[in-house]
Amino acid sequence: MKTYVPKQDEVQKRWYVVDAEGKVLGRLASRIATILRGKHKPYFSPHVDTGDYVIVVNAGKVRVTGRKLDQKIYRHHTGYPGGLREVPLRELLRKHPERVIEKAVWGMLPHNRLGRKILRKLKVYPGPEHPHRAQKPEPLEI
């Protein structure tokens, strides 16, 4: 018996749409990361992008548990002296709700070239509308 390893051009890509309204952020992100990576398919291979595209709508209505709205802080450094920037989750949800889901999913993907390629298949929108009707996405219940 030989192990089947899929080639990049043999993989069938599908499109899914997920409504994030009322969903818990971490559980939603882990399910999205699984689909983006392709781990739900029987021919998953860790070095080949076998995953599907995911469209997330209503990103601004995602839920978090506990006191994360006030206690969770996103940090990044500008590269300049004293350039540490901190943004609480509540403010990031208000200004850029799509970044909250993108950051949560990115944390669950491999941090290499393949992970960056996989993350490009995630499309997040703060409201209920998205411009990907032509791809005929299937609704995905999470």
Which pLDDT tens digit goes with each residue over 113-128?
999 999 999 999 999 9
Other CB atoms within 10 Å distance of the CB of residue 119: 15
- The CATH code of the domain that includes 53 is 3.90.1180.10
In-domain check, residue 100: yes
Question: Identity (one letter) of the amino acid at 130?
Answer: H
For the segment 1-23, the average pLDDT, to the nearest whole number, is: 93
- How many domains, the chain? 1
Residue 4, domain member (yes or no):
no
Range of the domain at 122: 13-63+93-139
Asked if pLDDT for residue 3 goes beyond 90, the answer is no
- Whole-model pTM: value is 0.94
pLDDT reported for residue 32: 98
Confirm whether 3 is domain-assigned: no
Proportion of the chain above pLDDT 70, given as a percent:
100
The verdict on residue 71 lying in a domain is no
pLDDT at residue 1, as a whole number: 83
Residue 8 lies in a domain: no
Domain-located, residue 76: no
Q: Which residue has the tokens 């990031």?
A: 92
For residue 46, give every residue at least 6 positions away whose Cβ sits within 8 Å of its Cβ, in sequence order, or none: none
111's CB contacts (< 8 A; 6+ apart) are none
For residue 84, being part of any structural domain is answered with no
Give the distance between the most distant pair of CA atoms in the chain. 59
Q: Rounded CA gap, 21 and 58, in Å?
A: 6
| pLDDT classification of 40: cutoffs 50, 70, 90 | very high
Q: Would you say residue 38 lies in a domain? A: yes
| pLDDT band per the 50, 70, 90 thresholds, residue 142 | confident
